[in-house]
Amino acid sequence: MGPTLTWGDIFVRLALTLVAGVLIGLDRNQHAHPAGLRTTVLIALAAAVAMIQANWLTTHTVDLHNQTLRADIMRLPLGSLDGVGFIGAGVILRLWMEA
């Protein structure tokens, strides 16, 4: 895979993420953990999409005059990962309080 992503690269990354999320989720379901198959697959895909965004934004936002990267552009994928983390933390605290 080169510095720029093709649609094939994106498809491969998402497919491998889906396979890994399903395998981990099935294991969690088998051991009766609260976060099972659906949760694990959704979190894995959200993280993969955020990193694909970061990769795309990094390669497409270089200033050709200064050869510098604009760091503010990285706020989008990092913000979405923060949101996923806060939702996950809320679910964990809710389950912990119910137990």
Kindly report the three-state secondary structure assignment for every residue of the chain.
CCCCCCHHHHHHHHHHHHHHHHHHHHHHHHCCCCCCHHHHHHHHHHHHHHHHHHHHHHHHCEECCCCEECHHHHHHHHHHHHHHHHHHHHHHHHHHHHC
Average pLDDT over residues 37-64: 81
Structure-model confidence comparison of residues 15 and 65, the more confident one: 15
pLDDT tens digits for range 12-37: 999 999 999 999 989 888 888 777 78
With a cut of 70, say whether residue 92 has pLDDT above it. yes
The model carries a pTM of 0.69
Q: What is the mean pLDDT of residues 61-76?
A: 65
